[in-house]
Amino acid sequence: MIAFIKNLVLEAGTLCLEGQKKLTSHDLEFKSDKDIVTQTDKKVEAFLVKAILERYPDHGIQGEEYGVVRAKSGFKWIIDPIDGTTSFVHRLPFYSISIALEKAGELVLGVVYAPATGQLFYAEEGKGAFAGSTPIHVSDTQKLDNAVMATGFACLRAGLKDNNLPIFNEIVPKLRDVRRFGSAALDLCYAAMGSLDGFWEMNLNIYDIAAGTVILREAGGVVTDFTGGRQFPEKGFAASNKGLHDELIHILTKYCASA
């Protein structure tokens, strides 16, 4: 199963790279004032859905662009054909194809591929996390002073009044530094390989974080909502190594009402 999905994302990656070369303003559609989708997002999702349903006809699918195909079994694939569409459109390398599998309501498999950098991340429940064929682990950073974290502003693109800016103002001075790549799936993989120490964001959707969540957990990390609970991404999304998580949640928990 994992080998099938790994091959599939590599093929989908070629579609992304080809689509990006030919990208013109005619390929863009606006889902809202700032939320863009391209023909490539749609083409990649259609390609992935067709291939997965051919192989697993009784499985369900939840994709960002075309919505839900109902499951006739307990399996559901959660797909973001391009996570980081803004980076894709602006020809920055930080976008990814993200595919997760949910079995009886639990996330059990995740694959994230960044075609522009060639990085392929994957994990299956209980089997560890990998970048290429190399096992990956979260960092052992214990203090926010020494931590580099990522965040994002989906909340601003969605036009929310309660947003990440007050949180950003509070956390950034406590960290060594912050990065903003624009793909939640990749942020989670960078945390899984220990390049980042953590990541938080609000107003994400399940397809942004499902695959990265499996990969981060298998790399030894922890994923919660802003209160340390399981209601993510609806009540905020916080991910880090286990040593930093309490300190991160201590800050985020008071912003939970706005998450």
Letters for 179-218 (x = contact with ligand 2AM by CB under 6 A, - = none) are ---xxx----------------x-xxx--x----------
Binding region for ligand 2AM (CB under 6 A) out of 148-156, 170-178, 190-198, 215-223 = 148-156
Angle at 152 between CA 146 and CA 158, to 5 degrees: 160
Q: How many residues in the shown chain lie near ligand 2AM by CB under 6 A?
A: 19
- The least distance separating Ca ion from the CB of residue 220, rounded to whole angstroms, comes to 27
Classify the C-alpha dihedral 115-36-100-205 as positive or negative.
positive
The residues pairing with 15 across neighbouring beta strands, listed in sequence order, are none
- The least distance separating ligand 2AM from the CB of residue 180, rounded to whole angstroms, comes to 8
Residue 205: φ, ψ to 5°: -115, 160
Q: Which of 38, 85, 151, 227 is flagged as catalytic?
A: 85
Question: Residue 51 corresponds to which tokens in the numbers above?
Answer: 């291939």
136 is known as an active-site residue: no
85 is known as an active-site residue: yes
* CA distances in angstroms from 240 to 109, 233, 249, listed in the order given: 19, 15, 10
246 is known as an active-site residue: no
Tokens 């052992």 sit on residue: 140
Residues 35-94 that bind ligand 2AM (CB under 6 A): 35, 64, 80, 83-85
Is residue 2 within 8 Å of 108, Cβ to Cβ? no
Q: Which of 27, 45, 65, 80 is flagged as catalytic?
A: 80
Residues 15-74 that bind Ca ion (CB under 5 A): 64
64 is known as an active-site residue: yes
Q: Which of 72, 94, 75 has the alpha carbon at shortest distance from 1?
A: 75
18 is known as an active-site residue: no
DSSP conformation letters of 87-145: HHHTT-S--EEEEEEEETTEEEEEEEEETTTTEEEEEETTS-EEETTEEE------SGG
Binding site partner of 152, from ligand 2AM, Ca ion, none, Cβ cut-off 5-8 A by kind: ligand 2AM
DSSP conformation letters of 55-84: H-TT-EEEETTTEEE--SSSEEEEEEEEE-
Using CB under 5 A, which of 80, 124, 197, 225 touches Ca ion? Answer: 80
Is residue 83 within 8 Å of 95, Cβ to Cβ? yes
Binding region for Ca ion (CB under 5 A) out of 46-54, 77-85, 175-183, 234-242 = 77-85
Q: Which of 83, 124, 197, 218 is flagged as catalytic?
A: 83
Binding site partner of 183, from Ca ion, ligand 2AM, none, Cβ cut-off 5-8 A by kind: ligand 2AM
Angle at 157 between CA 169 and CA 259, to 5 degrees: 55
Q: Rule CB under 6 A: is residue 157 a binding residue for ligand 2AM?
A: yes
Question: Residue 80 corresponds to which tokens in the numbers above?
Answer: 């973001």
Letters for 99-138 (x = contact with ligand 2AM by CB under 6 A, - = none) are ----------------------------------------
Annotated catalytic sites, by residue?
A: 64, 80, 82-83, 85, 208
Q: Which chain residues interact with ligand 2AM by CB under 6 A?
A: 35, 64, 80, 83-85, 152-154, 157-158, 182-184, 201, 203-205, 208
